[in-house]
Amino acid sequence: MTKPQISVETVQQMDKQDPLHAFRNEFHLKSDHYYMDGNSLGLLSKRAEQSLLTSLEDWKDYGIEGWTDGREPWFYMAEKLGAMTAPLLGAEAEEVINTGSITTNLHQLLATFYKPKGSRTKIIADELNFPSDIYALKSQLELHNLDPEEHLVRVKSRDGRTLAEDDIIEAMDETTALLLLPSVLYRSGQLLDVKRIVKAAHDKGIIAGFDLAHSIGALPHQLDEWQVDFAVWCTYKYLNSGPGGVGGLYVNKRHFGTSPGLAGWFSSNKQKQFDMDHHLSAADDAGAYQIGTPHILSSAPLLGSLELFHEAGIHKIRQKSLQLTRLMMDLLHQELDGFGFELATPIEDERRGGHISLVHPEAARICKALKAASITPDYRAPNVIRLAPIALYTSHEDVYEVMQILKEIIQEEKHKQYSNERGIIA
């Protein structure tokens, strides 16, 4: 049966029925501009702006007393943010802390949980992972005087875009100490079966960690139920905390008491931190895996942003996100069939994160043309256009208009005026 044609009236009706549509008003949106890069940097919400201003006011009004006496005391902010984030992860409050950056947190948890011993020395990753994770894994191996070429196992992709869970599980053996995988692949948007991977890893005595950068804030997680050992993420993508926003980490409570691999002052039990003892009395929860002083002005926006997630509900956010990406894929088929685009993202809802990826040999110049047409896309070398319609601030009509503009660019060859090379930042 042929699908009915999607029209502007169709998507306008979808917006009328959207229970999250009003959340658009919470964000600073530009009129006549379509922002499709929230999987790289989310937009500023009015709540995030206000919570940042509150911390600035605390600094102005209280000085150093802002650590304990401010309207949002800085000394407890990381723990408060952890408790607010935990429901998005299916975790308990004490298992989550917001601190550092995603890569420093990854180094911390690798230093804590990667303990090569005997023949069990290898780390499983994948050949499609974001470079920063691979850099961290290689450097941790080198700190143990182990050659990454031998001890870092990168699971190969069958199609250059996605991973097969069967291949990941097949790579596990008695030489594997730890695995680190993305929950959602940054290039294709594939969502991995985390539960299945963790069970297979634990059956073979392997520590299982995940990078949630492209899933947190876009879909619900059940880290406790899945028995994930540790996880890290950034907050400036779907969580809309702002450029360089504070990172986050999760440690399953069964590991509480494990000494932090990289100890620091904020690893301390807060009741003993100011004893100034040279012997660390580590916190008895995820707070033990902090290192340095919290980055308050990079943390404060998240307080306001997370309020919106609790009000909207992560399950409703996921439902709308799937609708938006499904709509985008349907419009791709309806409007752009025959123009050289390939969809790199799995079409199944259970295998798709919050963005779609289009492969085109002229992707770089198409992205430049989109920007000139007031659309913000994301380009990934050598040939990927990522488009992320964000549930809290993207409408169905936005998606429709973006795909119409893309069609016009290709039909009229407007992209041909640009070079097919990326800029310094892509």
The pLDDT of residue 361: 97
Rounded-to-10 torsion of CA 124, 129, 135, 137 = -20
Alpha carbons 142 and 180: distance in angstroms, whole number? 17
The pLDDT of residue 2: 66
Q: 4 among the known binding-site residues? A: no
Question: What mean pLDDT do residues 383-388 have?
Answer: 98
Rg of the chain over all Cα atoms, to the nearest angstrom: 22
Instruction: Quickly name the fold that domain 50-311 has.
Output: Aspartate Aminotransferase; domain 2 (3.40.640)
Question: What mean pLDDT do residues 257-269 have?
Answer: 95
The pLDDT of residue 423: 83
Q: 133 among the known binding-site residues? A: yes
Tell me where in the chain the CATH 3.40.640.10 domain(s) lie. Answer: 50-311
Q: pLDDT tens-digit profile of 314-367?
A: 999 999 999 999 999 999 999 999 999 999 999 999 999 999 999 999 999 999
> Looking at this protein, which amino acid is placed at residue 350?
E
Q: 132 among the known binding-site residues? A: yes
Question: What mean pLDDT do residues 285-309 have?
Answer: 97
The pLDDT of residue 1: 56
> Terminal CA-to-CA distance of the chain, rounded, Å?
40
* Token code pair at residue 154: 């990168």
Q: 214 among the known binding-site residues? A: yes
Question: What's the DSSP call for residue 73?
Answer: -
Q: 220 among the known binding-site residues? A: no
Question: What mean pLDDT do residues 146-160 have?
Answer: 98
CATH class of 8-31+313-415: alpha beta
- Say whether pTM exceeds 0.95: yes
Any bridge partners for residue 375, and if so which?
Answer: 34
% of the chain exceeding 70 in pLDDT: 100
Contacts of 82 (CB under 8 A, 6+ apart): 93, 94, 95, 96, 97, 98, 248, 286, 287
What crossing angle do the helices spanning 296-312 and 77-89 adopt, rounded to 10°?
30
* Token code pair at residue 278: 């040279």
Residue 313: pLDDT above 60? yes
Residue 23: pLDDT above 80? yes
Q: 131 among the known binding-site residues? A: yes
% of the chain exceeding 90 in pLDDT: 97
